Structure 1
């Protein structure tokens, strides 16, 4: 079993790099076209060069949360993110949704009252007979 372990690790890394390359959007691929990276991964996968090159050179690394990316420095300033409870557009959308819900609830209540009245009339009509 221990003899197979290095082979299985190399195979797992090869498969992982291949699938990662396929799933990576074209704009995040650096250096070469995605098809060329797939060929490199497959051709040099047995000696680990292909998958290692893909992870080190070919794939653009994502910056962790809180870091800055080039898109955040658009027009010379950093993008600002607002919490939902401080975002006026979000609060307006909540108010509109709440008003729709209240109107629907009023319609349901009016329909319920109307049906109750109809039932009372029918019961009173049957009691007289």
Structure 2
């Protein structure tokens, strides 16, 4: 019984792997046929289509050319660590400077509003006579 299960599982694994590889491969790395045709071939003919995809479908030399030939160092094999790191907002000098500029602009606007309010209050005081003149209205 084990001799019947192992080939079936191997065929299923090969078919799933070839199908996913075919779907995720960029168009410029596919050879001979359009991507849609390769997907249909792999789906309709699991064994033959999967082997054909592995042999003739993907341009493996171009796919390998994007990566370093032999990664080394503490981050070898982890391309997400090889990209430049983004700074957190509180570590980014440009972001902090923009916050400071924004705060300064708000402070200046607040000072202008306060000065305008004082000026209006003074204008109102000049227009109205003082209530403390003893007329007793």
Q: In which range does the TM-score fall when normalised by the shorter chain?
A: 0.3 to 0.5
TM-score by length of 1: 0.47
User: Rg: which structure is higher?
Assistant: 2
TM-score by length of 2: 0.45
